[in-house]
Amino acid sequence: MKHVVERIFVLAATILSACAVGPETPMSETGPRPGLEEDRAQLGRMRSAFIRAMNEGGVEKWIRSHLDAGVAVMPPGHPTISSRKEIIAWAQGFLKENRIHEFAFTGSKTVAGDWAFENGVYLLESSPSAGGEKQGQRGKVIFIWKRGTDGWKGTHVSFNSDGYWP
């Protein structure tokens, strides 16, 4: 039941993000919302830090700093992971089995009050740690962020793979 509720939340958040103030329309009834560009810049810096952590190490530190304690991560082909501890274990297992050569994310950011949504495409180039050919993977991702007293924290991450290429 918990998985159904989480998936409904992600669907609702996706729909809300399509209707909320987006990158092309940063206007409110009284003009640009104060702090909107800074919110987007903070989210961009957090995403850049994630990409560096994937490419250079430090994923555990990034997870502890930027994901909410009750975060739900929905990786392709795996059940929902619902704690920082489980996410760290999953990420460490992935990084133990795979050598990351490049990781990139291209997407858009939408800020709606204390919620923010990033959706887009990721590209991952990796090879098996035990040896083997490089392979690329492309997929879709949505990050859902909530502003709290200690800044933006990821509450939901859902991604799926479009497949690999040699």
Output the pTM of the full model. Answer: 0.74
**Per-residue model confidence (pLDDT) at position 23:** 46
**Per-residue model confidence (pLDDT) at position 166:** 62
**Per-residue model confidence (pLDDT) at position 94:** 87
Tokens matching residue 36: 């909107």
pLDDT tens, position by position, 125-152: 999 999 989 999 999 999 999 999 989 9
What are the residue boundaries of the structural domains of the chain, listed by start? 2-21+36-165
Element (H, E) at 50: helix 36-56
d(CA 58, CA 50): 9
d(CA 57, CA 111): 29
- In this structure, the number of other CB atoms found within 10 A of the CB of residue 1 comes to 5
d(CA 4, CA 47): 27
Helix axes 59-66, 84-97, angle to 10 degrees: 160
Q: Which CATH architecture has domain 2-21+36-165?
A: Roll (3.10)
**Per-residue model confidence (pLDDT) at position 72:** 93
Residues in the chain predicted with pLDDT less than 50, given as ranges, are 1, 3-30
